[in-house]
Amino acid sequence: MTATGGPPRFGWVFAAMWLFYLGGTVDVLRAQPDPYWRVIGLTSVAAFAVCFLFLMSRIRHLRRNGGSARYTWPALVLLLLLCGLQVPGAGDAALTCLVFIAALAMVSLPLGQATPLALALFAVAEVLPRVVHGWADGGYGLAVLLGSIATYGMRVAEERGRRLVAAHHELADRAVADERARIAADLHDILGHSLTVVTVKAELAQRLLDVDIARARKELADLEALARDALADVRATAMGVRGISLAGEIAAAREALAAADVEAELPGAADEVPTRNRELFAWTIREAVTNVVRHSGARHVRVRLAPASVEIIDDGVGPCATTGGQGLAGLRRRAEAHGARLTTGPTGDKPGFRVYVEVPT
C-alpha cells in the first residue's frame, strides 16, 4: 500500500505472479489437434494475460479519478470474450480465466456491482461442467469464490488503510490548529497583562515628572524591564517553551496593583499549592489582576490561595462591559482542560467581581 493509502503502485507485478495458473489452459491448448482453435486459443490466452496486467496497473489511476466502473466494465466484457475464444480449443480449462475476471472486478468495481458479477461467475463455473458434455468439474467455482473473497479482503484492507492515513492527516492538521490556538491564547494573556501594566506605569511616570523625578525615572526603568520581559515571553511562547510561575505571578500582581494604586491582599507564599495546580492558578491570578487594573476601577483586591482553589475578589464593576470576556473565555478553556471549574460574577449586593477556580480533589 502506498503512503497515500491507495493500491500498490506496482500491484501488477503481484498480479503477474498468479498468471502461472493459466499454464494448465496453455497445456491443453498446445495439445489441441485442431491448429485453428489451437492458435486462436493461445492468442486469446496471451491477450487475456496482457489485458489483465494492464488493467491491474491502471486500478490506482482509475480509483483516484473516480472512473473505475465506467472503464472497467468494457474491459471485463473484453476479458470474457477472450475467455470465450479459448473454450473451443481448451474446453473446461478455459474456466480458469473466470477466477481472474472475478478478482479484477472485486478490486476495481464498486462493491454493489462487483459482488453480483462474482456470484454470476461462480454460478457459471459451477453449472457449465455439469451441463456441457465432456467437461469435468475442476473446482473452478470454488476457485472463483475463494479468489473473490481474498481480493475483497485485500480491498477492505486497502480502504481501511486509506481511511487511517486520512485520519492521521486530519489529526495532524487538528494538532497544528490546536497549537496555533494555544499560542494565540497565551499571547493574548501575556500581552494583555504586560501592556496593561506598561500603560499604568507610563501614566504614573507621566504624573510624577513634575513631582518626583527620581521615582519617575524608576518607573520608566520598570517600563523598560517590563517591555523586555514581555518580548522574551512572546518569543518563548512562539517556540513553545514558555512556562509560568505562581510565585512570580503573585509578585507581578503586587507590583501591578501598587502601580495602579489598588490596595491588595495577596498570599505571602504558594508552597501549599500542589505543583499540578500552580500553572492554572498562576494564569487565573494574571487574568483577574489584568482585568482589575484595566477595566474594573476597583480600589481593593483580595487573593486567596488554597491547595485546590484560588479566589480573586475586587470591589470594582468587573470586565464584561469593556472586554466582552475574551480573557475569561480563555481562562475557562484552561480550567476545563485541567478538569477544574471556573466561576465568575458579581460578589453580591455590594459592588464587586469574583473569579474563583476550583480543582476537584
For residue range 90-124, list pLDDT tens digits in order. 888 888 899 889 988 888 888 788 889 989 999 98
Domain assignment present for residue 207? The answer is no
Domain assignment present for residue 175? The answer is no
Per residue in 67-79, pLDDT (tens digit) is: 456 777 888 899 9
Task: Specify the residue for cell string 467455482.
Answer: 141
- The answer to whether residues 22 and 133 belong to one domain is yes
> What does the alpha-carbon distance between residue 308 and residue 277 come to, in Å, rounded to a whole number?
7
Q: Residue 119 belongs to what domain range? A: 11-170
pLDDT for 347: 79
- The answer to whether residues 274 and 154 belong to one domain is no
Dihedral, CA atoms, 2, 7, 8, 9, nearest 10 degrees?
-90
Domain assignment present for residue 20? The answer is yes
- The answer to whether residues 165 and 297 belong to one domain is no
Per residue in 126-182, pLDDT (tens digit) is: 888 888 888 888 888 888 888 888 888 887 887 787 788 777 778 777 766 766 676
Instruction: Tell me how many domains the chain contains.
Output: 2
pLDDT for 312: 92
Helices (H) and strands (E) in the chain, counts: 12, 5
pLDDT for 105: 85
**Residue 357: pLDDT over 90:** yes
Q: Which residue has the higher pLDDT, 254 or 57?
A: 254
Query: Are 10 and 167 spatial neighbours (Cβ–Cβ below 8 Å)?
Result: no
Q: How confident is the model at residue 303 (pLDDT cuts 50, 70, 90)?
A: very high
Domain assignment present for residue 50? The answer is yes
Query: Are 198 and 42 spatial neighbours (Cβ–Cβ below 8 Å)?
Result: no
Domain assignment present for residue 194? The answer is no
* For range 261-290, the mean pLDDT: 85
Burial class (CB in 10 A: 0-12, 13-18, 19+), 45: buried
For 308-338, letters b (16+ CB in 10 Å) and e give: ebbbbbbbbbbbeeebeeebbebbbebbeeb
Q: How confident is the model at residue 5 (pLDDT cuts 50, 70, 90)?
A: very low
Report the chain's C-alpha Rg in angstroms: 39
pLDDT for 234: 65
- The answer to whether residues 275 and 158 belong to one domain is no
pLDDT for 1: 43
Strand ranges (DSSP E) for 199-290?
A: 263-265
**Residue 322: pLDDT over 60:** no
- The answer to whether residues 274 and 165 belong to one domain is no
Q: Is the pTM of this model over 0.85?
A: no
* For range 265-282, the mean pLDDT: 83
CA 178 to chain centre: 11
Boundary (domain end) residue, out of 170, 189, 204: 170
Residues 6+ apart with CB under 8 A from 304: 267, 310, 311, 312, 313
- The answer to whether residues 150 and 288 belong to one domain is no
- The answer to whether residues 138 and 26 belong to one domain is yes
Per residue in 183-230, pLDDT (tens digit) is: 666 666 666 666 777 777 788 778 878 778 888 788 787 777 777 766
- The answer to whether residues 18 and 149 belong to one domain is yes
* Residues composing the chain: 361
- The answer to whether residues 149 and 290 belong to one domain is no
> What does the alpha-carbon distance between residue 99 and residue 147 come to, in Å, rounded to a whole number?
6
pLDDT for 170: 80
**Residue 306: pLDDT over 80:** yes
pLDDT for 294: 80
Domain assignment present for residue 222? The answer is no
Boundary (domain end) residue, out of 143, 170, 197: 170
- The answer to whether residues 160 and 41 belong to one domain is yes
CATH number, domain containing residue 307: 3.30.565.10
- The answer to whether residues 32 and 164 belong to one domain is yes
**Residue 325: pLDDT over 70:** no
DSSP string, 332-352: HHHHHHTT-EEEEEE-SSSS-
- The answer to whether residues 276 and 164 belong to one domain is no
* For range 334-356, the mean pLDDT: 86
- Among 59-68, 243-252, 322-331, name the most confident range: 243-252
Domain assignment present for residue 346? The answer is yes
Per residue in 18-63, pLDDT (tens digit) is: 787 888 888 888 888 888 998 998 999 899 988 888 887 777 666 5
Boundary (domain end) residue, out of 136, 155, 170: 170
Domain assignment present for residue 254? The answer is no
